[in-house]
Amino acid sequence: MSAGAGKNKGLSGLVRPGLLGMKPYQPIVAPGSLAGDGVGPGGERIKLDGNENVYGCSPRVQEALRNYREYHVYPDPEQRELRRALAVYAGVSPEQVLAGAGSDEIIDLLLRLTLNPGESVIDCPPTFGMYRFGADVCGGKTITVRRTETFDVDIDAVLRAATRETKVIFIASPNNPTGGLTPRGDLLRLLETGALVVADEAYYEFCGETLAGDVARHENLVVLRTFSKWAGLAGLRLGYGIMAPELVQQLMKIKPPYNVNAAAEVAVGESLKDAAYLQGTVAALVGERDRLYAALGGVSWLAPYPSRANFILCRVEGRDAKQVQLGLRRKGIYIRHFATPPLQNYIRISAGKPEHTDAVIAALQGL
């Protein structure tokens, strides 16, 4: 042992300096966990804060998990069956697919694979917070290229901002929390930077537009998808990436061997066998999203934004968005609010069942 090696450093001496002061990710505050949290008229908590599928997962998933007997066996580290099933669904080859514990894990793996400390990623806020979070954890920098007034990606500005040290450009399309799509041609232009361009299609099933078919022609294009939103499996954690086989191989090397649990594997298989049922719930949610958008437009102090996903973002005018969120929470309705730039006074409401839309609109009108 060298001199001083055994000296007590204290925990702050052990944690990487760049992480000591890092702000934590702000997840959803669980319904029922705050004093004053209410329940709705039927005793139900109406949870519209996480863009989940309120219809739940396929009944085939419930049944298969009830009957599953192999929980004591580790899942396949190479995810062979799972990748085959995902590839058929996405119309790509299994070698182009990698699965993770949510697309959050694929974001993390991509950053751990590519970022050296001090190198950069680009994100375009307002957008999903895990891109910056993941870069922070890896000691990377985030170059912020704000979206325009209408929340479109400023592609020319992204191209100007990219440097030799830029490793990854993240674009969620449809974007969370704003709901809009980035046109395919714009996303493809970003490939000329040479950085990995990650088209995050977490809400693909609600809009039907994808770059999955472009991956074979572009080795620096990655498409991310998830079963959290359309398939009602947010709690089981299953996301996947579609990318060049060489990139899949590199990620395979660094991923935890058993990153996708056995229950999630079973659930994906059954969901895909019951895709027609799930697509029915997606169609219902899309219909309800559009009805919600129209109804929110009728509330004098809200300005809703059109959305291709399963939620609606609204600017709150002349009232405090946090108070609106808390007011609904007391009535058993759970939504997100945003209070920091570039979303200074906004709320986001996930599409639910018709009765949820009715309850939200009645509650907003009664505030």
Ligand X SMILES: Cc1ncc(COP(=O)(O)O)c(C=O)c1O
Q: Which is nearer to ligand X, 103 or 193 (CB)?
A: 103
Number of residues lying near ligand X (CB under 6 A): 13
Q: Least separation, in Å, of the C-beta of 301 and ligand X?
A: 26
Q: Are 85 and 269 in contact (CB under 8 A)?
A: yes
Over its C-alpha atoms, the chain yields an Rg (Å, rounded) of 21
Q: Least separation, in Å, of the C-beta of 50 and ligand X?
A: 7
Among 53, 228, 310, 345, binds ligand X (CB under 6 A): 228
Render the burial of 213-233: b for 16+ CB within 10 Å, e for the rest: ebbeeeebbbbbbbbbbbbbb
Under the criterion CB under 6 A, does residue 241 sit at the interface with ligand X? no
The residues that bridge with 100 in the sheet, in sequence order, are 239
Q: Least separation, in Å, of the C-beta of 24 and ligand X?
A: 16
Among 113, 234, 262, 272, binds ligand X (CB under 6 A): 234
Alpha helices by DSSP H, the chain? 11-14, 17-20, 59-67, 80-90, 103-114, 130-137, 155-161, 184-189, 204-207, 245-254, 262-273, 275-297, 321-330, 354-365
Q: Least separation, in Å, of the C-beta of 131 and ligand X?
A: 9
Under the criterion CB under 6 A, does residue 82 sit at the interface with ligand X? no
Under the criterion CB under 6 A, does residue 271 sit at the interface with ligand X? no
Q: What is the pattern of x (binds ligand X, CB under 6 A) and - over residues 98-137?
A: ----xxx-----------------------x---------
Under the criterion CB under 6 A, does residue 53 sit at the interface with ligand X? no
Among 239, 241, 304, 332, binds ligand X (CB under 6 A): 239
- Nearest residue to 176 via CA among 151, 139, 154: 151
Stretch that binds ligand X, among 16-24, 37-45, 97-105, 311-319 (CB under 6 A): 97-105
Cα–Cα distances (Å) from 91 to 51, 85, 88, 97, in that order, read 25, 10, 5, 11
∠ at Cα 350 (318, 263), nearest 5°?
150
Under the criterion CB under 6 A, does residue 226 sit at the interface with ligand X? yes
Q: Which residues lie near ligand X (CB under 6 A)?
A: 51, 102-104, 128, 172, 176, 200, 202, 226, 228, 234, 239
